[in-house]
Amino acid sequence: MDPRTTDPRQVVAAIDTLMNEAMRRPASVRSRPTVMALLKEARKEAATAPPGQVFLPRSAAASQVQSAMAAHERSLEILPPFEPFSNSDPGWASVALAVLERLIRGRAPFVDAASNSDLRLPLPADAKLALFSDWGTGQAAAGRVKTQIDAFHPTHLIHLGDIYYAGEEHEVPDRFLDKLPSSASIQSRFALNGNHEMYSGGHGYFGQVLPAFSQRASYFCLENDDWRIIGLDTAYDDKDYHGCQMEWLHSIVRTGAQKNILLTHHQPFSIYERADVDGAVMNKVADLLDEGRIHAWFWGHEHKHIVYLRHRNVLGRCIGHGAIPYSPPSRSFPPGNKIPVQFVNRRTIDGAHCVNGFATMELDGPRMVVRYIDEDGFVPFQENLEFEIATQAAAAGR
């Protein structure tokens, strides 16, 4: 057990940190008075607990506070400030507060498809899509990525999730909606749910982002005669698919001859993890992968830019490098992880921080060119996706 959540003296210090953060929150945050009352009650109990013993709360208030702190312990370790949204940013303390508020307020209602033919929208044969993820910081790097997206003049904008720190209703406008790419070419906008949005119960995402985008639900399918771009929600239930998504997905991809591309916030696998797969995110679509129904998969969450060779019968693309600061990925991988990698973006802007960026899809009937564009406009990797799908499938004997 982490002493920051079980040692009485450290619990008091952590609660003091959270109370200071809570006082800086906008007065419009409706649950702030309730949260402050819980923190004060929990602090009183922790301050009178016997020193040197494990803090086991007796009151419901202290139990809720301890649960929220344990849910995001990184937020309790306040290091010297380095830069916004880095691991040393004290602003992460707001995540523990958001988790506590979610315990009080609950999750936003989930919206499911009314039928298996619902949430399916037409995709022009010459569409230009911009895909970006983990972008909702409102910081300079996000602004540079926005500039490059606008320069691409997309017809469709798709964010793969994560508005920081916790996707709260006062954060959504400042760090996401008011900062979005604004090219006149944009016809449609979509956003997936992320784990940071759900730290606060998803109220900002379901109550603000979806209405602003005229998007009915947190999953969708864009389709034409050649392609389907299918976005799924892996955050409402963390790293899983809530509601009827799997029935809906299976009914779509098992019909027609289109090439199917999945979009999720969470990764199905990673070369930087010891485990080959990431639980339900992979396992619940394993039958479709085995059948060759899913041809490519783009995701965020992991703050890196990685292009994988065919693994588990799908082409994986990690584009979680939208705006969060991150160091160059290691050139060594965990022992036993044999996932084949084609490209890892280790390009830096100052020798210490890797570039942020996004991906584009340019459709021309059955052809699709995918470019990965850095925040300064440099293109470190591009591919003809229909060619990659065909050639790698042939090489695998599919």
Strand ranges (E), 98-187 = 120-122, 128-132, 156-159
CA atoms 305, 389, 153, 231: torsion sign: negative
- Residues 49, 13, single domain; the answer is yes
- Is residue 346 within 8 A of residue 328, CB to CB? The reply is yes
Return all residues near 88 (Cβ < 8 A) that are at least 6 apart: 79, 80, 81, 82
Residue holding tokens 């998969």? 297
Q: Of 38, 72, 105, which closes a domain?
A: 105
Which residues constitute the domain of residue 68? 3-105
C-alpha to C-alpha distance for 316 and 319, rounded to whole angstroms:
10
- Is residue 319 within 8 A of residue 133, CB to CB? The reply is yes
- Residues 34, 124, single domain; the answer is no
Query: For residue range 92-113, what is the model confidence (pLDDT) as tens digits?
Result: 667 777 777 777 788 999 999 9
Crossing angle of the two packed helices 60-71 and 32-47, in degrees rounded to 10: 100
- Residues 159, 294, single domain; the answer is yes
C-alpha to C-alpha distance for 372 and 345, rounded to whole angstroms:
10
Count up the domains in the chain and report the number: 2
Compute the half-sphere exposure of residue 256: CA atoms within 13 Å on the CB side of its CA.
Answer: 15
**What's the first-to-final CA gap in the chain, in angstroms?**
48
- Is residue 361 within 8 A of residue 317, CB to CB? The reply is no
Strand ranges (E), the chain = 120-122, 128-132, 156-159, 188-191, 220-223, 227-231, 259-264, 296-299, 305-308, 315-319, 341-344, 357-364, 367-374, 381-384
Crossing angle of the two packed helices 32-47 and 93-105, in degrees rounded to 10: 110
- Residues 264, 369, single domain; the answer is yes
- Residues 98, 136, single domain; the answer is no
Looking at the domain assignment, is residue 272 inside a domain? yes
Closest Cα to residue 172, out of 181, 163, 162, 182?
163
Q: Which class for 274: exposed (0-12), middle (13-18), buried (19 or more C-beta within 10 A)?
A: exposed
Looking at the domain assignment, is residue 281 inside a domain? yes
- Residues 249, 340, single domain; the answer is yes
- Residues 196, 156, single domain; the answer is yes
Crossing angle of the two packed helices 32-47 and 8-23, in degrees rounded to 10: 160
Looking at the domain assignment, is residue 110 inside a domain? no
- Residues 234, 96, single domain; the answer is no
- Residues 98, 126, single domain; the answer is no
Q: Which pairing describes strands 341-344 and 305-308: parallel, antiparallel, or unpaired?
A: antiparallel
Looking at the domain assignment, is residue 134 inside a domain? yes
CATH of the domain at 259: 3.60.21.10
- Residues 62, 160, single domain; the answer is no
- Residues 200, 251, single domain; the answer is yes
Looking at the domain assignment, is residue 339 inside a domain? yes
Looking at the domain assignment, is residue 53 inside a domain? yes
Question: Global pTM?
Answer: 0.85
Q: Of 77, 105, 133, which closes a domain?
A: 105
C-alpha to C-alpha distance for 88 and 342, rounded to whole angstroms:
32
Compute the half-sphere exposure of residue 148: CA atoms within 13 Å on the CB side of its CA.
Answer: 25
Strand ranges (E), 148-278 = 156-159, 188-191, 220-223, 227-231, 259-264
Query: For residue range 275-321, what is the model confidence (pLDDT) as tens digits?
Result: 655 589 999 999 999 999 999 999 999 999 999 999 999 999 999 99
pLDDT at 337: 85
Looking at the domain assignment, is residue 111 inside a domain? no
Residue type, 59: S
Q: Of 74, 105, 136, which closes a domain?
A: 105
The pLDDT tens digits along the chain (398 residues) read 456 666 788 778 777 877 777 777 676 666 667 777 877 887 888 888 877 766 766 666 665 566 566 655 544 444 344 466 565 555 566 777 777 777 778 899 999 999 999 999 999 999 999 999 999 999 999 999 999 999 999 999 999 999 998 898 989 999 999 999 999 999 999 999 999 999 889 999 999 999 999 999 999 999 999 999 999 999 999 999 999 999 999 999 999 999 999 999 999 999 998 765 558 999 999 999 999 999 999 999 999 999 999 999 999 999 999 999 999 999 988 887 889 999 999 999 888 889 999 999 999 999 999 999 999 999 999 999 999 999 877 777 66
- Residues 125, 35, single domain; the answer is no
Looking at the domain assignment, is residue 249 inside a domain? yes
